[in-house]
Amino acid sequence: MKQKLMIVKNFVLLFVLSCAFFISSVAQERKTPNDKMLTPKVGVKGGINFTNLYVDDVKDENMKIGFNLGLFAKLPVTQGLSIQPEILYSVKGSKLAYDLGVLGSNEYRFNLNYVEVPILAVINLSKNFNLQAGGYAAYLAQANIKRANGDGTNDQIADLNEENFNRLDYGLVGGLGIDVENITIGARYNYGLREVGKADNFGSQALKNSKNSAISLYIGFGF
């Protein structure tokens, strides 16, 4: 698991550095007046999630790939600081292999789909690079669990859905971003602070007090 996480982190680092090189090259050709940095923006953004649920007493745990899509606003306070609220549809979860535990000896895919509202402070480190920090609150809109069969098919477990999980999630967010003109690109890490499984329920038995964890890459367009 640590090796897989390291691969994803290296991929994220390579992604950010590649974007930085490309956008810095473009930025040399286009100079934006300072007063534009104080103009509020709204826009659309989307990207890819690498998510996991860290669970005790499982045979193996693997990252699940999902997506995020939504709207954002960037509200400048000064040239060096902005507040950025967002509303996103974010697909999270994990792939867990149990060894004769509460679910038996199989691999299961936990699909957790949230409506998520991050609010971040965006600190401009330079004209094009920024540091992001804040928190998020999320509502679990849909959930299902599927069992992976040996023939490559998946069976949904009909009795298990969003009622087995806490509807509300919240946590911390940190990341780096690159802005040029109306394009924004970045990478973030979300760390959930609330347990995913509902207390005294199947969710708490299967997930053993686990919390959401996600690495997200995104691109956005402001107007």
Indicate the DSSP class of residue 9. Answer: H
pLDDT-based confidence at residue 40 (cuts at 50, 70, 90) = very high
pLDDT at 67 over 60: yes
Q: Residue 20: pLDDT above 80?
A: no
Separation between Cα atoms, residue 183 and residue 189, nearest integer Å: 20
> Residue 35 — φ and ψ, nearest 5°?
-70, -20
- The residue that leads in pLDDT, 86 or 158, is 86
Q: Which of 122, 81, 86 is nearest to 220 (CA)?
A: 86
Residue 125 in this model has a pLDDT that exceeds 80: yes
Residue 9 to residues 78, 165, 216: CA-CA distances in angstroms?
32, 28, 11
Q: Tokens 């995020």 map to which residue?
A: 68
SS (H, E, C) 84-138: EEEEEEEEEEEEEECCCECCECCEEEEEEEEEEEEEEEEEECCCCEEEEEEEEEE
Which of 51, 56, 63 is CA-nearest to residue 114?
A: 51
Query: What is the pLDDT at residue 148?
Result: 75
Residue 88: pLDDT band with limits 50, 70, 90: very high
The total of other beta-carbon atoms located within 10 Å of residue 75's CB is 13
pLDDT of residue 96: 78
For the chain, what are the domain ranges?
Answer: 2-222
Quote the tokens at residue 172. 């911390």
Least confident of 52-56, 123-127, 133-137, 191-195: 52-56
Closest CA to 1 of 56, 60, 48: 60
Residue 172's H or E segment, with its range, is: strand 168-180
Q: Which CATH number fits domain 2-222: 2.60.40.1930, 3.30.420.40, 2.40.160.20, 1.20.1250.20?
A: 2.40.160.20
Nearest partner of 116 among 54, 71, 183, judged by Cα: 71
Confidence of residue 127 (pLDDT cuts 50, 70, 90): confident
SS3 (DSSP) at 26: helix
What pLDDT was estimated at residue 170?
Answer: 97
pTM: 0.79
Sorting pLDDT into bands at 50, 70 and 90, what band is 137? very high
- Phi/psi of residue 127, each to 5°? -60, -35
